Amino acid sequence: MGMMDMLKQAQDLQSKMKAFQDEMETAEFPGTAGGGAVTVVVNGKHELKKVSITPEAAASGPEMLQDLVKAAVNDAGHKANDRMKSEMSRMTGGMSLPGLF
**Angle, in degrees to the nearest 10, between helices 3-26 and 62-91:** 150
Radius of gyration of the chain (CA): 19
Q: Kindly report which listed range (11-15, 17-21, 92-96) carries the lowest average pLDDT score.
A: 92-96
Question: Does residue 93 have a pLDDT over 80?
Answer: no
Entry pTM: 0.77
Q: What is the pLDDT of residue 29?
A: 97
| pLDDT at position 2 | 81
Q: Delineate the domains of the chain, giving CATH numbers in brackets.
A: 23-90 (3.30.1310.10)
Judge whether residue 11 has pLDDT over 90.
no
DSSP count for the chain of H helices, then E strands: 3, 3
pLDDT at 80 over 70: yes
Q: What is the pLDDT of residues 38-72, one digit of tens each?
A: 999 999 989 999 999 999 999 999 999 999 999 99
List the Cα angle 27/83/72 in 5-degree steps: 75
